[in-house]
Structure 1
Amino acid sequence: MAPACLLGVCSLLCAWSVVTGHPCSLDHQGWANCNGKSLLHAPSSLPRNITGLDLSFNSLVVPRHGTLLVHFASLHSLNLSSNALLALSPAVFSNLGALRLLDLSSCSIAYLHTDTFKGLGNLHTLLLRNNSLQELEVPFFLPLKALFHLDLQHNALVSVDPWSLQLMEAVPQVRLEGNPWVCDCTAHPLQQWLQRRRAVQVTCASPPGLRGREVAALDSQDLGCWMKQRFPRGASTAQQITVTHSNTTTPPTTKAGRSWPYLVGFLVAAISISILIALAAKCKLFHKNFASYRHRPLPETSSIGGSPMEDSSDWDRGSSGQGASKNHPMPGAADLQAEDDDGFIEDNYIQPSEHLPEEEEREVHLSI
């Protein structure tokens, strides 16, 4: 009896599946529940006017081109959580212009194309928690003009660029908890953004000294950044101090303190130029002395053209030749005539030695 009843129930279920054409359950509000049915695609036999569709815990295959749900343009809510989607192709939801809620939690998404959410201008809530996102591409926010709630909890985000933070300023509710945030100087824009939003429980994962501390409670000194506050030109010197976000003050560095490198550089340049000038002068003097040593010394001769030894020998020959004939000229006469022509001996200047031969010659004539 019992096996017969069980067989009857199975037959009724099979008949219901054939009649309906899908394994999903429908309610009177237009919600279709296809949770955990091991589906590869959304059943095409579902009514086209449904407003809600739950396809969580299935094995959906996302097309590389085109849209995921071609026949359900009236959807306001779509749950695709716990499907191994990995990556979403561009404009995969472009035909769902009326969609208000999109749940992509726990889908192992590691990358979002910049045009993934193209066409979702009315999307109100986007759930991306428990995925593997490491960075946020700025353009993916641009189509989401009506976004109110963004959930990015428990991803692999370590930092967010300032432009993405600026775009997220227009989103009233943003959840960033559970990410391995790196709290260094690059996290300063995030820290300021969290302070303005008064968000809590966004904690640091590294460095080890800041692990577990809330990012919004940190200051610039904790992050390794020193931010200077600018003052108007008319402010007094006492007011021109360096201010950090932890109200830590340090005396300003005056112009005199910053001018010492220029003074040292000027002194080094002056000393170097002086050394170069001294070396150049020394080299010039060395070349001059070297060139002078290369000349040969002049011979030691008299200004008249003969040496003193030669003059003395000529004098001896003149004295010994007193008995020579009158027609033989004296050797020294031509020399004396040449000396007169040179202009170095005064006119009418005759050496005493030249009178001796004439007087001797007169005495000879007189004795004859």
Structure 2
Amino acid sequence: MAAACLLMVCGLLCAWSVGTAQPCSLNRQGWADCNGKSLLHAPSSLPSNITSLDLSFNSLVMPRHGTLLMHFPSLHSLNLSSNALLVLSPAVFSNLGALHLLDLSSCSIAYLHRDAFQGLGSLHTLLLSNNSLQELEVPFFLPLKALFQLDLQHNALVSVDAGSLQVMEAVPQVRLEGNPWVCDCTVYPLRRWLQRRQAVQVTCASPPGLRGREVAALDSQDLGCPVKQRFPRGASTAPQITAVTQGNTTTPPTGKGGRSWPYLVAFLVAAISISILIALAAKCKLVHKNFASYRHRPLPETSSTGGSPMEDSSSWDRGSSGLEASESHSTPGAADLQVDDDDGFIEDNYIQPSEQLPEGEEREPHLSI
């Protein structure tokens, strides 16, 4: 009897130890189901070659440093949904390079570190729905090179910056429904992004006047953003005026009217400078012309014997009267000489020595007498 009781106790202890050591169920495909086992950590007794692990509805504790699942490098699918993870530490999944699907929905995550998904270069699907995310940073998406589906439904997102939207352009499927989007000017990049993607209905949560309306269907007046309106050029000869419309009121632009005065000043300075240069050039030319006319004098006539101009002028004055008196007795040779002098050239040695010699001989007998 005592032996039978001892055997029964040993069997119960063995069964309890086995159940405690392996709370998860395994199948032949390498899938491990640890759903709802109140686990604080992943069981270390699981085979290291499993490809799928379900740890949903547990009480997992995220490590502050290091990785969450150190012994399962072959995982392709990991379900951590419905665990109070709150914050994901940097590189917590860095050892899961072969992971294709990561389910982090309903984990009350309020903040994602920029390096939270470092090492997940092969991740295909990321499920982050039903969390408390308020913003998305660009570095958060950078390690996810192969991401195809991103689920961000029912978070606390009120707006998304243009940089994050640009990075999400490479993700074919993005779910953004159920977030409390604030439909003002900050949602304008999201509206353009939704129009390009032709996404499903993403509605506004505030302000009350736009609650329930699709973000992609809103226009600038609905969002209350300033719109630039340009008047046609032919409507007026005045410069173009740009008006800013805010709601139902139109106010003139501030700070843009004074931008044209530097160009006007530069134009006036250039015009004045060119006028001064033209005036100076004209004045210098006129002064040079007057100076040249002031120095101009007729060339003096020189005698055939090369005498000085003063002597020629005096001899011309003295001989003018005698020339008039003897004009009637002038010989034809003198007339010919005058005609020859009209050509403007002065010949040196006009009277040849051969002609002077007979004249001298004629004069000598006359002197002897």
TM-score normalised by L of structure 1: 0.60
Q: Does 1:157 align with 2:160?
A: no
Structure 2 distance, partners of 1:121, 1:230, is 49
Partner of 2:135: helix, strand, or coil?
coil
Pairing of 1:231-310 with structure 2 (within 5 A): 237=234
Q: CA deviation at 1:200?
A: 2.3
1:200–1:214 contact (8 Å) kept in structure 2: no
Counterparts of 1:237 and 1:78, CA distance in 2 = 66
Alpha-carbon distance between aligned partners in 2 of 1:108 and 1:81, rounded to the nearest angstrom: 10
| Distance in 2 between residues matched to 1:94 and 1:207, nearest whole Å | 41
Identical columns (%): 82
| CA distance in 1: counterparts of 2:115 and 2:73, whole angstroms | 19
Residue segments in structure 2 that go unaligned for 5+ positions in a row: 1-7, 262-369
Query: For residue 45 of structure 2, what is the amino acid of its counterpart?
Result: S
1:152 is matched by which residue type in structure 2?
L
Q: 1:46 to 1:243 in 2, by over 3 A?
A: farther
User: Residue 75 in 1 paired to residue 75 in 2?
Assistant: yes
List 4+ stretches of structure 1 deviating above 2 A. Answer: 11-17, 226-231, 235-238, 240-244
Counterpart-to-counterpart distance in 1, 2:85 and 2:21 = 25
Could you tell me how far apart the structure 1 residues matched to 2:87 and 2:212 are?
Answer: 31
- Residue 56 of structure 2 is matched in structure 1 by 56
The DSSP-based 3-state class of the residue aligned with 2:126 is strand
**What do the CA deviations read for 1:192-229 (whole angstroms, capped 9, x no partner)?**
00111111221101000000111011111100113448
Identify the residue that residue 208 of structure 1 maps to in structure 2.
208
Secondary structure of the structure 1 residue equivalent to 2:68: coil
How many residues matched?
Answer: 242
Conserved? CA contact 1:200–1:216, under 8 Å: no
Letter aligned with residue 199 of structure 1: A
What RMSD over aligned residues (CA atoms) do the two structures have, in Å? 3.3
Alpha carbons 2:48, 2:74 under 8 Å: kept: yes
- The equivalent of 1:22 in structure 2 is 22
Q: Partners of 2:193 and 2:241 in 1: how far apart?
A: 25
Matches within 5 A, 1:126-165: 126-165=126-165
How far is the alpha carbon of 1:15 from its aligned partner? 2.3
Q: Could you say if the C-alpha distance between residues 18 and 220 of structure 1 is closer, same or farther in structure 2, counting changes exceeding 3 Å? A: same
* Contact 2:68 2:93 (C-alpha < 8 Å) held by counterparts: yes
Asked if 1 retains the 8 angstrom alpha-carbon contact of 2:230 and 2:243, the reply is no
Measured in 2, the distance between the counterparts of 1:241 and 1:15 equals: 87
Closer, same or farther: CA 47–226 of 1 in aligned 2, 3 Å: same
CA distance in 2, matches of 1:215, 1:88: 30
**What displacement does 1:18 show?**
1.4
Larger mean CA deviation between 222-231 and 78-87 belongs to 222-231
Distance in structure 2 (CA, Å) of the matches to 1:183 and 1:78: 36
Looking at structure 2, the residues matched to 207 and 153 of structure 1 have their Cα atoms a distance apart, in angstroms, of 20
What is the letter of the counterpart of residue 171 of structure 1?
A: V
CA distance in 2 between counterparts of 1:102 and 1:242 reads 51
Report the secondary structure of 2:205's partner residue.
strand
